[in-house]
C-alpha cells in the first residue's frame, strides 16, 4: 500500500537523485542536471497554491518504511476546464511492486474529491510499454497518437495521449 504526501525539505536528496537520473530525462523533457541549490529553492516554494502555480507534486511513500519511492505530478492545471496532466515516476529499484498503479488511483481520487477536477490526462511515449500498460490498467482511455512528437536519442517517437474522466 502506498500513500501520497506533500514535499518536505528532507526530500532534497531524494529529489536530487530522481531529477538527475539520466534514464528518466527522456520521459521528463529534461536536458541538464539540477543542482541542490535549485531543488532547495523549488522545495521552499513547493507548497504554493495549485491555483497560482498550476501544478502539484506529491511524494509516493510505502507503508513499510514511509520512504519515498516516487513522485506523482499534476501539471498544466486548468481551473476553467477542470483538468490537469498527470505524470508519475517511481525509482527504478522500486518498480514492479504496483506502487505506480496505487499512486495513480490515489491521485485520481484526490483530483476528483479534493481538487474537483473533471478529468486528468497523460502523454506517454509509444515505446514506453510499462507506462502504456499502467495508464490502461488505471482506467485511462487511449484517445490519440501524436506522430513523431518526442525527440529521443535514437530519433523521433510517437506520443500516445490518454484521458481519464473522473
Residue 90 to residue 68: CA distance in whole angstroms: 9
Look at the pTM and tell me if it is higher than 0.75.
Answer: yes
Q: Is the pLDDT of residue 99 over 90?
A: yes
Provide the residue ranges of all domains of the chain, joining segments of one domain with +.
2-165
Residue 68 to residue 103: CA distance in whole angstroms: 12
> 2-165 sits in which CATH class?
alpha beta
Q: What are phi and psi of 88, to 5 degrees?
A: -140, 140
Q: Is the pLDDT of residue 27 over 70?
A: no
| 38 — pLDDT class (breaks 50, 70, 90) | confident
C-alpha cell at position 144: 490519440
pLDDT of residue 52: 82
What is the helix (H) or strand (E) element at residue 59, kind and residue range?
Answer: strand 56-62
Amino acid at each position: 500500500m502506498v500513500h501520497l504526501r506533500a514535499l518536505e525539505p528532507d526530500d532534497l536528496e531524494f529529489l536530487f537523485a530522481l531529477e538527475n537520473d539520466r534514464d528518466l530525462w527522456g520521459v521528463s523533457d529534461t536536458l541538464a542536471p539540477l543542482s541542490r541549490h535549485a531543488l532547495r529553492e523549488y522545495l521552499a516554494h513547493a507548497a504554493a497554491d495549485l491555483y497560482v502555480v498550476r501544478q502539484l507534486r506529491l511524494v509516493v511513500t510505502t507503508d513499510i518504511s514511509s520512504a519515498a519511492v516516487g513522485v506523482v505530478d499534476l501539471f498544466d492545471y486548468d481551473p476553467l476546464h477542470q483538468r490537469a496532466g498527470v505524470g508519475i515516476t517511481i525509482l527504478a529499484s522500486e518498480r514492479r511492486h504496483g506502487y505506480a498503479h496505487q499512486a495513480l488511483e490515489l491521485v485520481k481520487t484526490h483530483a476528483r474529491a479534493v481538487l474537483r477536477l473533471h478529468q486528468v490526462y497523460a502523454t506517454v511515449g509509444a515505446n514506453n510499454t510499462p507506462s502504456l500498460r499502467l495508464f490502461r490498467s488505471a482506467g485511462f482511455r487511449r484517445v490519440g497518437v501524436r506522430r513523431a512528437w518526442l525527440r529521443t536519442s535514437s530519433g523521433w517517437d510517437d506520443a500516445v495521449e490518454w484521458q481519464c474522466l473522473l
